[in-house]
């Protein structure tokens, strides 16, 4: 009956990882990632609970509301697999998988959003745009490599860490120092953004604004225009409004005969 | 007005299909960031024989949309549809190659599409709840296949949404390029300047989100490094970029040690 209960191996974890790539395939406002999480863990439950009634109960438990940052979901998935295994084998029959998921998803979601969307992605984007402005064709490759080395490494690493640690989130934070890394990525992005402005004379000709023919003056003009834009943007507004505002401003300059 | 012959129609359908598949990366599958403007712009441009137009659109839109984050139930603007559509309109709407003003015109058209893409995405996510609710309500040995069907239905819906929007936006945009040719001469001048100033708006948007300061010391340090090494010492652009990143890292580590 419980012949497979101790045999959650690397292939099961990799299969769960593969399914977790589809975590948001049926994302909805009401259920969010619930169906995706249940889909990712379902084969493991089938293996751990050969009794149909027990299997059904466990699937029902994982059909409860779930939503977190999609990459950090790997940690919760790995830990949930471990807790289910401990429960099925009787090592920890009282393992509260549902409570663990509910406790973890909000803080890890906030941390993941801040690290992946708020720090890593902008850093990769700024580096790639800087290279693209310079006229290099390999900017998209640079972006994908910079982002996915971290993304895939951490996503896979967190699944195994979640499994081996049984969901020790404190150890996860101590191991990866996400907050510190996020701050570093943000500062590197800011310095590279300054670098983009300082290299304006090297921009592709299509992007080089007709502000000055003297390279240093061109960069200084771009730098100060950006500072003014940042100050304006602090008052609020969406990217669409800023783009439309810029178009109207350019049109006004054209009609005024400035350009 | 450009003729919609079979050649153009096939190209539109091909781009709509490829864009639909790549768009799955935004939410439904993987999230490897292939769908980001800096990647999908050059890719679309390359497929349509206008790689330069793709790089210009991708680089300009990347910084604009990079920090529009999918947090909680917020549905961000679909930068993938915007980038693919803008590149396709610029490439297919110009019989003798995409000019800078036409690229600017296409980017503006894609900006007008943002609200519609967000509404369509919202509709897909609302519809998805029917699939996931149905799958999660099924119990017994067929739970696994019900979850699989819900995931597949969700993926199909996300794909269809993008495919249909491309099939509407790209032909409409190409038709609009016919009107663009009749605009007064001030418009092309304004649209050229619009493309040239767009990176400054992108840089300002990212700076605003990454720091609370209007005058950030790391942006200034990166700028000074780029001017010193790039303009006064004529160091190649990629090396300057690495130096600015290093300056940022050294600065943040120094600040960490002091605090």
Residue spans of the domains in chain B: they are 6-210, 213-259
Nearest to A194 among B154, B199, B222 (CB): B222
Average pLDDT value for chain B: 92
What pLDDT does A95 receive? Answer: 83
Pair A144, A258 in one domain: no
pLDDT at B3 over 70: no
CA distance A44 to A12: 7
**Closest CA relative to residue A20, chosen from A62, A84, A82, A70:** A70
Pair A181, A136 in one domain: yes
- ipTM of this predicted complex? 0.94
What residues of A are in contact with residue B208 (Cβ under 8 Å)? 230, 233-234
Dump pLDDT digits (tens) for B162-198.
Answer: 999 999 999 999 999 988 888 999 999 999 999 999 9
Q: How many CB pairs under 8 A join A and B?
A: 361
Pair A150, A216 in one domain: no
Question: For A243-255, what is the mean pLDDT?
Answer: 95
| A214 Cβ under 8 Å from any chain B Cβ | no
Exposed (0-12), middle (13-18) or buried (19+): which is A122, by Cβ within 10 Å?
buried
What pLDDT does B1 receive? Answer: 55
Pair A117, A79 in one domain: yes
Q: Any idea of the CA torsion for A165, A106, B75, B60, to the nearest 10 degrees?
A: -60
- Global pTM? 0.94
Residue ranges of B 199-228 with Cβ closer than 8 A to chain A: 199-211, 214-216, 218-227
Dump pLDDT digits (tens) for A89-101.
Answer: 888 888 889 999 9
pLDDT at A3 over 70: no
Higher-scoring residue by pLDDT: A194, B114: A194
What residues of A are in contact with residue B253 (Cβ under 8 Å)? 184
Whether the Cβ atoms of residue A138 and residue B46 lie closer than 8 Å to each other: no
Q: Chain A: residue nearest B185 by CA?
A: A254
pLDDT at A198 over 80: yes
Question: For B247-254, what is the mean pLDDT?
Answer: 96
The owner of tokens 């490599």 is A145
| B230 Cβ under 8 Å from any chain A Cβ | yes
Higher-scoring residue by pLDDT: B71, A50: A50
Nearest to A29 among B125, B186, B240 (CB): B125
Pair A162, A35 in one domain: yes
Residue A199 in domain: no
Q: Output the CA–CA distances (angstroms, integers) from residue A24 to A115, A183, B69, B87, in the order listed.
A: 19, 28, 15, 28
What pLDDT does B181 receive? Answer: 83
Dump pLDDT digits (tens) for A18-36.
Answer: 999 999 999 989 889 999 9
Enumerate residues 6+ apart whose C-beta is below 8 A from B10. Answer: none
Q: How many domains does chain A have?
A: 2
Nearest to B222 among A147, A195, A254 (CB): A195
Pair A27, A67 in one domain: yes
DSSP type of residue A214: S
What pLDDT does A1 receive? Answer: 43
Listed range (A3-7, A247-251, B82-86, B182-186) with the worst mean pLDDT? A3-7
Enumerate residues 6+ apart whose C-beta is below 8 A from B222. Answer: A190, A191, A192, A193, A194, A195, A197, A198, B244, B247, B248
| A255 Cβ under 8 Å from any chain B Cβ | yes
Enumerate residues 6+ apart whose C-beta is below 8 A from B252. Answer: A183, A184, A187, A188, B218
Dump pLDDT digits (tens) for A55-76.
Answer: 988 999 999 999 999 999 999 9
Pair A160, A252 in one domain: no
A interface test, pick of B79, B186, B200, B235 with most A CB neighbours within 10 Å: B200
Q: How confident is the model at residue B106 (pLDDT cuts 50, 70, 90)?
A: very high
What pLDDT does A5 receive? Answer: 57
Whether the Cβ atoms of residue A57 and residue A94 lie closer than 8 Å to each other: no
A interface test, pick of B112, B226, B240 with most A CB neighbours within 10 Å: B226
Pair A81, A125 in one domain: yes
Pair A52, A148 in one domain: yes
Question: For A182-192, what is the mean pLDDT?
Answer: 97
Average pLDDT value for chain A: 92
Pair A137, A252 in one domain: no
Residue A72 in domain: yes
What pLDDT does B133 receive? Answer: 85
What pLDDT does B230 receive? Answer: 93
Pair A96, A164 in one domain: yes
Residue A149 in domain: yes
Residue ranges of B 164-183 with Cβ closer than 8 A to chain A: none
Question: For B146-168, what is the mean pLDDT?
Answer: 95
What residues of B are in contact with residue A206 (Cβ under 8 Å)? 52, 56, 100, 103, 195-196
Pair A101, A228 in one domain: no
The pair of three-digit structure tokens given for residue A90, joined into one six-digit string:
């009787």
pLDDT at A255 over 80: yes
Range of the domain at A66: 10-185
Enumerate residues 6+ apart whose C-beta is below 8 A from A110. Answer: A69
Check CB contact under 8 Å for B186 and A251.
yes
Question: For B73-79, what is the mean pLDDT?
Answer: 88
What residues of A are in contact with residue B207 (Cβ under 8 Å)? 190, 193, 226, 230
Whether the Cβ atoms of residue A194 and residue B229 lie closer than 8 Å to each other: no
Enumerate residues 6+ apart whose C-beta is below 8 A from A53. Answer: none
The pair of three-digit structure tokens given for residue A116, joined into one six-digit string:
């992946």
pLDDT at B81 over 70: yes
CA distance B186 to B184: 5
Q: Chain B: residue nearest A20 by CA?
A: B30
A interface test, pick of B41, B119, B136, B153 with most A CB neighbours within 10 Å: B136
Residue A55 in domain: yes
Q: Angle at the Cα of B74 (from B81 to B149), degrees rounded to 5? A: 70
Q: Chain A: residue nearest B75 by CA?
A: A29
Dump pLDDT digits (tens) for A105-161.
Answer: 999 999 999 999 999 999 999 999 999 998 889 999 999 999 999 999 999 999 999
CA distance B257 to B259: 5
């Amino acid at each position: 009956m419980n012949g497979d209960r101790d045999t959650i191996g690397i292939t099961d974890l990799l299969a769960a990882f593969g399914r977790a790539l589809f975590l948001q395939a049926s994302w909805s406002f009401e259920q969010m990632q619930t169906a995706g999480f249940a889909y990712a863990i379902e084969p493991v439950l089938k293996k751990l609970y050969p009794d149909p009634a027990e299997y059904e109960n466990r699937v029902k438990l994982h059909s409860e509301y779930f939503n977190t940052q999609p990459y950090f979901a790997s940690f919760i998935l790995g830990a949930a697999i471990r807790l289910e295994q401990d429960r099925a084998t009787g090592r920890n029959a009282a393992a509260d998988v549902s409570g663990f998921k509910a406790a973890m998803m909000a803080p890890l979601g906030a941390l993941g959003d801040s690290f992946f969307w708020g720090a890593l992605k902008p850093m990769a984007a700024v580096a790639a745009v800087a290279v693209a402005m310079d006229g290099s064709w390999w900017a998209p490759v640079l972006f994908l490599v910079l982002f996915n080395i971290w993304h895939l490494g951490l996503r896979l690493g967190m699944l195994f860490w979640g499994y081996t640690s049984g969901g020790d989130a404190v150890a996860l934070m101590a191991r990866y120092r996400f907050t510190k890394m996020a701050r570093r990525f943000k500062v590197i992005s800011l310095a590279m953004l300054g670098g983009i402005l300082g290299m304006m004379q090297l921009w592709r000709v299509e992007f080089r604004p007709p502000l000055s023919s003297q390279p240093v003056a061109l960069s200084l003009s771009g730098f100060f225009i950006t500072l003014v834009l940042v100050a304006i943007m602090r008052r609020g507004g969406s990217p669409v409004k800023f783009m439309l505002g810029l178009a109207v401003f350019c049109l006004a300059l054209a009609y005024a005969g400035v350009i | 007005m450009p003729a919609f012959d079979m050649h153009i129609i096939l190209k539109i359908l091909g781009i709509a299909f490829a864009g639909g598949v790549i768009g799955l990366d935004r939410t439904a599958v993987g999230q490897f960031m292939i769908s980001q403007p800096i990647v999908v712009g050059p890719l679309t441009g390359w497929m349509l024989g206008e790689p330069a137009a793709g790089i210009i659109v991708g680089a300009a839109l990347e910084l604009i949309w990079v920090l529009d984050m999918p947090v909680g139930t917020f549905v961000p603007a679909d930068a993938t549809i915007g980038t693919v559509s803008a590149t396709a309109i610029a490439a297919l709407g110009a019989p003798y190659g995409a000019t800078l003003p036409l690229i600017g015109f296409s980017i503006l058209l894609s900006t007008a599409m943002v609200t519609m893409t967000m509404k369509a995405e919202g509709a897909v996510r609302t519809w998805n709840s029917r699939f996931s609710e149905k799958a999660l309500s099924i119990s017994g040995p067929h739970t696994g296949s019900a979850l699989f069907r819900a995931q597949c239905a969700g993926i199909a819906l996300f794909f269809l949404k993008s495919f249909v929007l491309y099939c509407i936006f790209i032909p409409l945009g190409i038709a609009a390029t016919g009107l663009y040719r009749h605009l007064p001469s001030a418009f092309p001048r304004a649209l050229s300047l619009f493309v040239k100033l767009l990176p400054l708006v992108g840089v300002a948007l990212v700076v605003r989100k990454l720091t609370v300061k209007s005058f950030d010391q790391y942006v200034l340090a990166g700028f000074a490094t780029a001017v010193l090494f790039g303009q006064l010492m004529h160091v190649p652009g990629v090396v300057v970029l690495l130096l600015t990143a290093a300056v940022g890292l050294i600065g943040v580590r120094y600040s960490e040690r002091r605090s």
